[in-house]
Amino acid sequence: MTQEVKSVQGPFINIVPADNGGCGYYRMIQQGNMLQLLNRDVVVSPWGKWRAIGQEITYTQRITTQEMQEKLIKWKEQSHQKLIVDFDDLIWEYKGEGLPDYNLCRLKIDTKANTEGLKKNLDRLADKVTCSTEILKDSLSEFVDPSKITVIPNMLNYKEWYFPQTRRPDEDIFYYAGSWTHYDNINKKPGDFDKNLIHFLANKKVIVKSTVPYFIKPIKNYPATRLTAYATAFYQETRNVKFILAPLAENVFNTCKSDLKYLESAAVGRVCLCSDFPGSPYSGAHPYQKIPVGSTSKAIQFIVDRASEHYDEILKWQWDYLNKRWLDNNIQKYIDVLQ
């Protein structure tokens, strides 16, 4: 007895992540996996492997160097396909700024050259552009017609990030899982950590995941986790934690960042303490969990105490926020753009 196999739907799409880290996973790989489950005609290639395998569309990300742009323009034209490019970080210059001085990626990324390359090539390179924030769209509009650009915010996969909620701890324990791009351990630059926040945390219990900032002495240091296991590790490591830290300095680069850490905090049922400044990606957070940039240590303590008092109220706010951002309920946004 043979089982009838339904034909796959839509154009044949080759998804090519820029890397196998967070941006590749959250912007490309999990989307490709979900589209395959929906019987779409999609393959997910190894990162950085642009190959013509008969696809009608290649969906890739972060094509910013002039050399790569020119190679892919020629490759796209020769293989008679569409190219859709995604951007999720500011790695060119916008409003006169590029990468902040504490982000060591600036040693490998020439934002000035990237800006010139995008000005010259993005319109020819990309049939469509996707990006993660409205501010990124505004910056990309300097290189390409805004009608080509679709904003699709970062999202979480329900299967990976839906967890049973557990009782919140009574003790003030803080958890930080930001990457080394948020501070500079080599040149001793605190980066996204305001000096008053550092002073506040000096006598607090802080748990750190992966690389430890030079100015924090954690009570526990969890190792880095591969992306496919990250959600479960994040959940397990925060069961004794009351607050998850999401500090950002006030700069143009950070206004372009996403609110991914806020979504993750909501999923594991722990209150996120996030920086507040004009244009912050956490502008939609509950007022009682925001720490204005430049707050004194005393003011931070007041905010933490108030957040403890209103903990359940903030958790509900976070959960309502997250419920609009499950990838499972928003995959149609990708289906619409990948045509």
Reported pTM: 0.95
Band of the pLDDT at 283, cuts 50, 70, 90? very high
- Give the model's confidence band at 327: pLDDT under 50 very low, under 70 low, under 90 confident, else very high: very high
Is residue 234 pLDDT above 50, yes or no?
A: yes
Mean pLDDT of the region 14-20? 93
What pLDDT score does 30 carry? 96
When pLDDT is averaged across residues 226-239 and rounded to a whole number, the result is 96
- Residue 322 binned pLDDT confidence (cut-offs 50, 70, 90): very high
Q: What is the pLDDT of residue 6?
A: 53
pLDDT at 302 over 80: yes
Written as one letter, the residue type at 71 is: K
CATH superfamily of 158-322: Glycogen Phosphorylase B; (3.40.50.2000)
∠ CA 24-83-258, nearest 5°, is: 35
Model confidence band, residue 7 (pLDDT cutoffs 50, 70, 90): low
Q: Which option is the CATH number for 9-152: 3.40.50.2000, 2.60.120.10, 3.40.50.300, 3.40.50.970?
A: 3.40.50.2000
* Cα–Cα dist 150/155, whole Å: 15
Confidence band (pLDDT; 50, 70, 90) for 22? confident
Q: Is the pLDDT of residue 5 over 80?
A: no
Single-letter amino acid, residue 185: N
Evaluate if residue 8 carries a pLDDT over 80.
no
CB 172 within 8 A of CB 205: yes
Task: Look up tokens 């569409």; give the residue.
Answer: 82
Average pLDDT of the chain?
A: 96
Across 64-81, average pLDDT: 96
Where do we find the tokens 């934002």?
111
User: pLDDT band for position 20 (50/70/90)?
Assistant: confident
Q: How far is CA 30 from CA 69, 86, 154, 322, 327, in A?
A: 25, 14, 11, 17, 9
Is the CA virtual torsion 109, 115, 120, 126 positive or negative? positive
| Rounded-to-integer distance, Cα 188 and Cα 143, Å | 35
Q: Where are the domains of the chain?
A: 9-152, 158-322
Task: Please compute the mean of the pLDDT values over residues 46-72 and round it to a whole number.
Answer: 95
Strand, helix or coil at 13?
A: strand
Which has the higher per-residue pLDDT, 275 or 20? 275
Tell me the CA distances in angstroms from 251 to 44, 84, 101, 296, one per residue in order: 34, 28, 11, 19
Percentage of residues in the chain with pLDDT exceeding 70?
98
Instruction: Quote the tokens at residue 164.
Output: 């049973």
Given a cut of 50, whether residue 1 has pLDDT beyond it is no
CA distance 327 to 273: 24
Domains 9-152 and 158-322 share a fold: yes
pLDDT digits (tens, 9 = 90+) for 238-259: 999 999 999 999 999 999 999 9
pLDDT in tens, 124-173: 999 999 999 999 999 999 999 999 999 999 999 999 999 999 999 999 99
Instruction: Report pLDDT digits (tens) over 177-210.
Output: 999 999 999 999 999 999 999 999 999 999 999 9
Pairing of strands 205-209, 173-176: parallel
Six token digits for residue 170 = 């009574």
- The pLDDT of 50-74, averaged and rounded, is 96
pLDDT of 176 higher than 90: yes
